[in-house]
Structures are given as structure tokens and as C-alpha cells.
Amino acid sequence: MSQCKPSAPRHRLIITADDFGYSAERDGGIIECFLDGAVTGVVLLVNGEAAEQACAIARKHGIPVGLHLNLTEGYPVYKNEHTSLINSDGFLRGKFGFREALQDGKIDLCDVKKEIKAQIECFQTLMETQPTHADGHQHVQVLPGVREVFAKTLAKYGIKRTRMPIQHGLKNSNWVPKLHMDFFQQFEQQAEEAKMVFQKYNIRYPDGFFGTSTMGSHMTIGHLEQALTAAENKLYGDTTTSPLTFELMTHPGCCTSPGHGGCGGGPDDFSQSKDREYEMSVLRSSDWKKVIATHNMDLGSYKDVK
């Protein structure tokens, strides 16, 4: 009698909505997505204008919430007018400003540690629980110097999971402009270097990640499936019998009105664009749900990251 071949394992797909708490308008769209099964968890900006309200809604609906560590946008949580994290206007230095200051040795890593601790403790107060995980707004958690402080501080607070923003096959995403691709590949290299640091502190992350090349208008069913397939091709093998976890990073939400939202200084262009609502429509579409089913995946959360 021939022996039956084991069936392929059901893998898990975590669909994370970034920037929760940025504005009430954006959050309304994120909540719609969660209730529709289009996202499975969120990451919270604790210095977002709508953070407190967002946490109350998340508790009501049982939404898994992680911390979206923010070292680049708006006001810091740790109040110290002499912190190296801010510019002359009292705001965090921005996505590129922070990176340049870090590279030039102008960022005091003690200030980074204080800010990370302040944001974790702010999260605990707002949500009355620990975050499911912590990642970095604009991927700051993988930057040189920051990654060691980030991992060590997470371990101290008992937070055991993070995002690893490495999208396999990213270089084949020929729709991404070169300027953006150069930046994406830079932080992916930094993420590769961060792996050893995270492993040192027993900080775990999903087996696969995608979403870098599918933000805003670049989120199409074809692009999503290409990115998911590339992740599968990298990780699947003939002996893959244990379920794997994949994370899709998304930025859905209703368009933010001028003057309503932000982390200090008002909402940015991306928040005010229609790209957020476009992402919502793709994530809630029957075509995307068919892709998930075709790829033998169940929806999951960061609790599935072992």
C-alpha cells in the first residue's frame, strides 16, 4: 500500500496596518479594514494626534496592537528640550534628517534609549497591556546603533517580536522609481545586518515580509502576488512541513483632512492623498482574498510568530 504524502501546511499571513493613531479619519478606515478581515493587526504611533482614541477603539474590537516606534516624525514622547533627537523647532528630525544626524554622530544613543522606553511605557498606559510586538516607523529599528538599543530595550520590557523589513525579490519590482529603490535597498541591507543583533536578544520576526514595493498606487493585485510569490520561493522547500509566517506591511485608512492629524506639525502629503483609500479598496477586494486562498494561507497575527 502506498503511503499518503503529507498535505502542505497552512501558512499564516499577518496583514499589518501601519500608523494607527495618526488621525481619527485614517483610523476610521483602518477599523473598517479590520472588521472586514482585510487587516489582522495594527501598529500604533503613540505620539499620533488620535492615539488615545485609537486605543479605546482597538480595545473595544479586540484588535491586536503593536508599537510603531517613532524617532523621525512629530514631537518626541520623552520631554527634554536638550535631546539630540530634535531639530531647532523642537520636532523630530525627519526620515532623512534622523539618518543623516545618526551617520554624522549627532544622535546620542542614550536619548534613543530614553525615547524608546518612553514610547513603550506610553503604549502600556494607553492600551493597558503589552504590545504584540514593536517595529520602527520608517524602519528606524534596523539602523546602525539604534538596532542594538532597540533590541536590548525590547528584551528588558519582555517584548519578543519585531518586523524584519526584507522583501525577497524586491529588485525585480521594476515599477518602483530608482530613487525609492535605492533607499529601500539601503534599509534592507541594514535589516540584514540587524538580524544578528535581534537574535542575540531573542527577538523573533516573521519568516517572510513584503509590502515595501506595494505602497500607495503601487499596490495592485499583480504586484502583491508577485511579492508574495517571491517570498514563498525563497522560503519554501520540498521539506517545508511546518507553517511559516509572512507579514504584509500596509498603509490603509481614510484620507486625512488638512489640519486634522499628525504627530505634531500637521498631516503629511501621503496621509492627505487618496493612496490610503486606494490601498483599502485593494485589501478589501475579492481578488486579493482569492490570492490569499490560492496560496494556501490563513490570516494570523504576531502571536503566531514563534
- The residues that are catalytic are 18
d(CA 128, CA 168): 36
- Name the CA dihedral angle for 42, 222, 234, 152, rounded to a multiple of 10 degrees: -20
Backbone phi, then psi, for 210, in 5-degree steps?
-155, 165
d(CA 66, CA 85): 23
Helix axes 286-294, 221-235, angle to 10 degrees: 20
Closest by alpha carbon to 23, among 2, 52, 66? 52
Closest by alpha carbon to 107, among 151, 72, 154, 139? 72
The residue written with cell numbers 501601519 in the block is 18
Taking CA 123 as the corner, what is the angle to CA 119 and CA 126, rounded to the nearest 5 degrees? 135
80: which residues sit within 8 A by CB, 6+ positions away? Answer: 111, 114
The residue written with cell numbers 481614510 in the block is 254
Closest by alpha carbon to 279, among 231, 220, 233, 229? 220
The residue ranges of DSSP E strands in the chain, in sequence order, are 11-20, 41-44, 65-69, 134-136, 208-210, 245-250, 297-300
d(CA 301, CA 235): 19
d(CA 110, CA 228): 38
